[in-house]
Amino acid sequence: MSAVKVRIKADEGITLPDYATPGSSGMDLRASEAALIPAGERGCVGTGLYFELPQGYEAQVRPRSGLALKHGVTVLNSPGTIDSDYRGEVKVILINHGKEDFRIEPGDRIAQVVFAEVTRVELERAGELEETERSSGGFGSTGRK
């Protein structure tokens, strides 16, 4: 498997993300600033990182399972998408579903980033769509089993 090259710029003192283990899908994103997210509130936390993704790729910002389980803190718009033409700072929108305020210090792992290839489609307008067994059955229409 060949690696896709992603150019990255980092503010002074910021450590570049890396894979924690050979089997990791995502790289940890760390806070570049201190922040406090009160219980039941949301906030945006900078990482001090800037990506230059190749066209045809995106970066997906995803929650860290430990923060979700232990503190009720997760990425609000998960996964957050970083498009290939965006050059601004990567920031993470976090929400605190916990019962206690959540303090973030610089260097804390707050999310993870997964890089993925993007499939572009061409939409074709249709007057009718092919019927299926489910057809227009909505949420929960296929049952629990």
> Is the model's pLDDT at 1 over the cut of 70?
no
What are the extents of the domains in the chain? 7-117
pTM beyond 0.95, yes or no: no
Instruction: Please give the torsion angle defined by the CA atoms of residues 17, 21, 22 and 23, in that order, rounded to the nearest 10 degrees.
Output: -100
- Given the candidates 2.40.160.40, 2.70.40.10, 3.30.300.10, 2.60.120.1360, the CATH classification of the domain at 7-117 is 2.70.40.10
- 64-94 pLDDT tens trace: 999 999 999 999 999 999 999 999 999 999 9
pLDDT of residue 135: 78
Place of tokens 């890396």: 18
pLDDT of residue 59: 98
With a pLDDT cut of 70, the percent of the chain lying above it is: 95
- 100-124 pLDDT tens trace: 999 999 999 999 999 999 999 999 9
Place of tokens 């019962």: 99
